[in-house]
Amino acid sequence: MNTLWTSAQLRAATHGMLDAEVVVTGISIDTRSLEPGDLFIALQGENSNGHAHVQAALAKGASCVMVHEAGDVSDPRLLRVADTMEGLRALGHAARARFTGKMVGVTGSVGKTTTKNMLHCALASIGPTHAAIASYNNHWGVPLTLARMPRDTAFCVAEIGMNHRGEIAPLAAMVQPDIAVITTIGSAHLGHMGSVEAIAEEKSDLIGALSAQGVAIVPDDTGMESILAAAAARSGCRIARVGLSAEASYRLTALETGAEGSQFRFTNHDIVLSAPGSHLIRNAGLVLATIDALGLSLDKAAAALALWRPGAGRGQVQPILGGQAALLDESYNASVLSIRAALETLALMPAKRRIAVLGDIRELGEFAEREHLALLPNLMAHADLVFCCCPHMRHVFDALAEEKRGVWQPDAASLAPFVQSNLKAGDVVLVKGSLGSRMRDIVTPLLAGGVSA
């Protein structure tokens, strides 16, 4: 394993006290996934305190443990700091300061993680690439991603999320991107932000973190061009728009979509994607524009993207009902934009029945009923049968034509057996909802086995 941090580097970065001479090869904030050689950071949250697991971390082979409460543990491997969250941030800043490669920051209302994963795939075909795992895009996920960055990294992809105004700017300042990618601007977190314009302002803070040599890669159809252009003007960077319009800096043409994947043309390159969904064409366009802006090989990136597949909960297609039916697993999260995209993907798939299983979109506040009901035209067009759970989806279920209604239940666990018992050979089932709607409670039994009707 390569050395991430030495004792001297840990002391210098955090201004902490560490008696032992250690070598850190990884970083963990959870003893359940800790590996020998890791630095364990005892973060203190609202519902948990990592300081309760210091002894367990050392017993599992942690080379060092960062604490701000030593308690009754006396060990030379303790790195004592004033605050472990600030210590993690300090490591993130130090990691970014020593990084000499190219940094890409990704944000957006929809598609952040998928675009980040596509970027990782494309860049890794060109050089050593590091990226956030899962959706590590918040106040601890971003510095953790940076602190874990191997010393030989040529390209880093940092995902940056938000729930409230003012959250992106400090994370973007830590990341210091060379390229800023905004995937979409939509109504996600509308309840906290108040307007789509406010969401665009927040997203544009990533562009504001660019230098004059930086490039902002954005869609050509956000409807928020003036806000994004103003942010680019303030940082002095170049802005490049990607999309289908003739005015796009990078125009996507010759689009073909199907159940097995998509094809399109980017500049003078024919691009093939092996996963269905026109939204993935948009994501891939942003990735290829990033590759081009960095002056890297589009041929290598295109070859890598042809092999890319979406992960569990993010558009993965899997057989169910003993291979007689299929699951389109979009269960990780949801917004109005992403549900529309998922329904369009469902429509591409050959099926006797196309079934949509939807849970609530969270964080919409006073706009919740309106935003949920906005999905009705898409459901009427693309789904034969609809199952719903959670309070806001009740409005949708009640407004559906009677022949489209499956069952509504108050939560995903209660709905799961109804979905399972209604499965038939030839069905394709889309499952989607916000993380808090716990749609995995429906996906798990579907993957375990269904009942043929």
pLDDT tens per residue, range 171-227: 999 999 999 999 999 777 777 777 989 999 999 999 999 999 999 999 999 999 999
What are the residue boundaries of the structural domains of the chain, listed by start?
5-84, 99-305, 316-448
Any known ligand binding at 111?
yes
Residue predicted with more confidence, 363 or 318: 318
Number of Cα atoms under 13 Å in the Cβ half of residue 76 = 5
State residue 167's pLDDT score.
93
Does pLDDT of 349 surpass 50? Answer: yes
Give the model confidence (pLDDT) of 282-313 as tens digits: 999 999 999 999 999 999 999 999 999 999 99
pLDDT confidence bin for 1, thresholds 50/70/90: low
Longest dimension (CA), the chain: 70
What is the share, in percent, of the chain residues with pLDDT greater than 70? 99
Give the model confidence (pLDDT) of 230-283 as tens digits: 999 999 999 999 999 999 999 999 999 999 999 999 999 999 999 999 999 999
State residue 283's pLDDT score.
97
pLDDT confidence bin for 38, thresholds 50/70/90: very high
Give the model confidence (pLDDT) of 101-113 as tens digits: 999 999 998 899 9
Task: Quickly name the fold that domain 99-305 has.
Answer: UDP-N-acetylmuramoyl-L-alanine:D-glutamate ligase (3.40.1190)
Q: Buried b / exposed e across 385-401, counting CB within 10 Å, b at 16+?
A: bbbbbbebbbbbbeebe
Does pLDDT of 451 surpass 50? Answer: no
Helices 278-293 and 112-124: crossing angle in degrees, nearest 10, is 50
Any known ligand binding at 110?
yes
Task: Quickly name the fold that domain 5-84 has.
Answer: 3.40.1390
Under CATH, domain 316-448 is a member of which superfamily? Answer: Mur ligase, C-terminal domain (3.90.190.20)
Residue 337, C-beta contacts closer than 8 angstroms, at least 6 positions apart: 109, 110, 184, 186, 187, 188
Residue 258, C-beta contacts closer than 8 angstroms, at least 6 positions apart: 276, 348
Residue 323, C-beta contacts closer than 8 angstroms, at least 6 positions apart: none
Does pLDDT of 450 surpass 60? Answer: no
Backbone Cα Rg of the chain: 23
Does pLDDT of 453 surpass 70? Answer: no
State residue 452's pLDDT score.
39
pLDDT confidence bin for 146, thresholds 50/70/90: very high
What is the share, in percent, of the chain residues with pLDDT greater than 90? 90
Mean pLDDT computed over every residue of the chain? 95
Any known ligand binding at 108?
yes
